[in-house]
């Protein structure tokens, strides 16, 4: 069988993980286990199994960085004040002595928040935002492509071990909007995707990280309640619905079968481990 993406063709080489929160740390551990050289860049050093460059990318870097073969940017948008992306991405570009051969920018499916509906949205559909955070993400995508020729990964709601917000909401009996359309991706499959984006010779320029089943939030919380042995959470009053349906065919063409194809496999495993 031919491999149009050239998977496993490219070695990640030396990798800089910019931001490097929980997602970056898991990716770094996976890459190191396979022999890659990994460095994190984050505001505060922490107990990571690879070197860390302490830097606050809201401000110009005070040093030139080493050259890296690959860069993965997992900076979240700012929660207050100006967007972090213009100073961070421009500062990073100025500090790198040479252009990495592969840059991946992790965005979010939030860039579609301004076009809710039941029609599945693909990578060919134009994003539309309705909030400042969504606008910051879209600006980050555009800058990353302009400065680095970056590939863009847009994850939906990330869940997995340590990401149990929805389980806690159901346990607490907090009201939720049962009518809202939702999409999600298990952290394990997202990490697999990011590694594949580094290793593929012809990685897609843009890809949505979503599992195989967009679903109403009410269906998810009802399933969780059954598994937890509690009453389904009450409906938010009033319910506003909304949300998008995102198509994940390109992800499955590129990555193959997901380890957690729907929310059921992922959340059932998390509940069993409680």
- pLDDT beyond 70 at 196: yes
- The more confident residue out of 49 and 175 is 175
Question: What's the pLDDT at 80?
Answer: 75
Tokens of residue 246, six digits: 């995102």
Which of 9-13, 17-21, 168-172, 261-265 is predicted least confidently?
Answer: 9-13
Q: What is the mean pLDDT of the chain?
A: 94
Task: Grade residue 7 by pLDDT with cuts at 50, 70 and 90.
Answer: confident
- pLDDT beyond 90 at 213: yes
Residue 73, Cβ neighbours under 10 Å: how many? Answer: 26
Task: Grade residue 274 by pLDDT with cuts at 50, 70 and 90.
Answer: confident
Report the percentage of the chain scoring pLDDT > 90: 87
Task: Grade residue 91 by pLDDT with cuts at 50, 70 and 90.
Answer: very high
State the pTM of this model: 0.96
Average pLDDT over residues 137-165: 97
- pLDDT beyond 70 at 110: yes
Average pLDDT over residues 230-244: 95
Alpha helices in the chain (DSSP H): 22-33, 85-95, 132-148, 165-172, 187-199, 217-228, 249-255, 263-272
Nearest to 41 by CA among 58, 33, 32, 30: 58
Per-residue DSSP letter, 166: H
The 10s digit of each residue's pLDDT in 28-67 is 999 999 999 999 999 887 788 899 999 999 888 888 999 9
Question: What's the pLDDT at 47?
Answer: 81
Yes or no: say if 104 and 73 are a contact pair by the CB < 8 Å rule. Answer: yes
Average pLDDT over residues 195-209: 96
- pLDDT beyond 80 at 269: yes
Phi/psi of residue 13, each to 5°? 65, -140
Residues ≥6 apart with Cβ < 8 Å to 59: 87, 91
Nearest to 103 by CA among 213, 6, 12: 12
- pLDDT beyond 90 at 78: no
Question: What's the pLDDT at 69?
Answer: 97
Yes or no: say if 266 and 186 are a contact pair by the CB < 8 Å rule. Answer: yes
Question: What's the pLDDT at 237?
Answer: 92
Question: What's the pLDDT at 2?
Answer: 61
Residue 70 sits at the vertex; the CA angle it makes with 149 and 55, to the nearest 5 degrees, is 95
Question: What's the pLDDT at 77?
Answer: 87
Alpha helices in 85-236 (DSSP H): 85-95, 132-148, 165-172, 187-199, 217-228
The whole-angstrom separation of Cα 248 and Cα 70 is: 25
- pLDDT beyond 60 at 1: no
């Amino acid at each position: 069988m031919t491999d149009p993406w050239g998977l496993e063709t490219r070695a990640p080489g030396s990798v800089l993980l910019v931001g490097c929160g929980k997602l970056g740390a898991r990716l770094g551990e996976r890459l190191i286990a396979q022999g890659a050289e990994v460095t994190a860049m984050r505001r505060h050093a922490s107990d990571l199994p690879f070197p860390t460059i302490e830097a606050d990318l809201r401000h110009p870097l005070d040093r030139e960085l080493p050259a890296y073969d690959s860069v993965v940017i997992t900076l979240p948008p700012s929660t207050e004040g100006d967007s972090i992306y213009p100073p961070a991405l421009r500062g990073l570009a100025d500090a790198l002595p040479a252009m990495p051969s592969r840059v991946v920018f992790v965005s979010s499916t939030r860039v579609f928040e301004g076009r809710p509906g039941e029609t599945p949205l693909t990578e060919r559909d134009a994003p539309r935002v309705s909030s400042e955070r969504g606008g910051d993400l879209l600006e980050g995508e555009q800058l990353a492509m302009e400065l680095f020729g970056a590939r863009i990964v847009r994850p939906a709601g990330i869940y997995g071990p340590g990401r149990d917000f929805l389980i806690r909401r159901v346990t607490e009996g907090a009201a939720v909007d049962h009518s809202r359309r939702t999409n999600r991706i298990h952290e394990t499959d997202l990490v697999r995707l990011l590694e594949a984006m580094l290793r593929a010779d012809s990685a897609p320029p843009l890809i949505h990280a979503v599992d195989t089943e967009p679903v109403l939030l009410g269906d998810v919380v009802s399933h969780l309640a059954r598994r937890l042995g509690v009453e389904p959470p009450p409906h938010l009053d009033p319910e506003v619905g909304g949300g998008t349906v995102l198509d994940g065919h390109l992800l499955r063409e590129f990555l193959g079968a997901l380890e957690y194809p729907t929310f059921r496999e992922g959340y059932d495993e998390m509940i069993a481990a409680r």
